[in-house]
Amino acid sequence: MADGYETYRTVDEEANASFVVRSSEFVGHVAPAESVDAAEAFVERVGEEYDNATHNVPAYRVRRGDSTHGGGMVREYSNDDGEPSGSAGKPALNVLQGRELENVVCVVTRYYGGTNLGTGGLARAYGRTAKNAIDAAGVAER
């Protein structure tokens, strides 16, 4: 803690990363988000920009409350957006948790390629896409 402020890790900037697995294209989008409203606005913006995608799966971790005095609770959210339960949003959120990131939002867009990946394949693909997008953005301490 410096000057009474608690530090945290987040993405350095907005970034995207994509890859293809068994004909499905996955595009990861990440951005810093200082509030739940900012995170949800990013989710909405990506959803509108990629409204022709099969799925737009959101996950975020945002501090709530007075983080300058150690009271910063973290609100976590994820949604599978129609993918099988636990196969999409939770794997993306797990990456944010594993990297110990806060004030960050991620949306993984999927264009279905005609081949089912199974629950395990989906979980791996969504997690990998979130990881790749975070790597593209870089991690910073605030």
Strand ordering across the sheet containing 73-78: 15-21, 24-32, 104-111, 55-64, 73-78
The whole-number pLDDT of residue 39 equals: 98
The whole-number pLDDT of residue 67 equals: 45
Q: Is residue 2 scored above 50 in pLDDT?
A: no
Residues 40-78 have pLDDT tens digits of 999 999 999 999 999 999 999 999 764 444 456 899 999
Residues 21-30 have pLDDT tens digits of 999 999 999 9
User: Residue 105 has which token pair?
Assistant: 């939002």
| Secondary structure of residue 131 in the 3-state scheme | helix
118-137 vs 89-98: helix crossing angle, rounded to 10 = 40
With contact defined as beta carbons under 8 Å apart, do 130 and 59 qualify? yes
The whole-number pLDDT of residue 64 equals: 78
According to CATH, the superfamily of the domain at 16-141 is: Impact, N-terminal domain (3.30.230.30)
Q: Is residue 105 scored above 70 in pLDDT?
A: yes
Task: Report the C-alpha gap between 14 and 18 in whole angstroms.
Answer: 14
The whole-number pLDDT of residue 34 equals: 94
Task: Report the C-alpha gap between 61 and 20 in whole angstroms.
Answer: 26
User: Residue 29 has which token pair?
Assistant: 């989008």
| Secondary structure of residue 139 in the 3-state scheme | strand
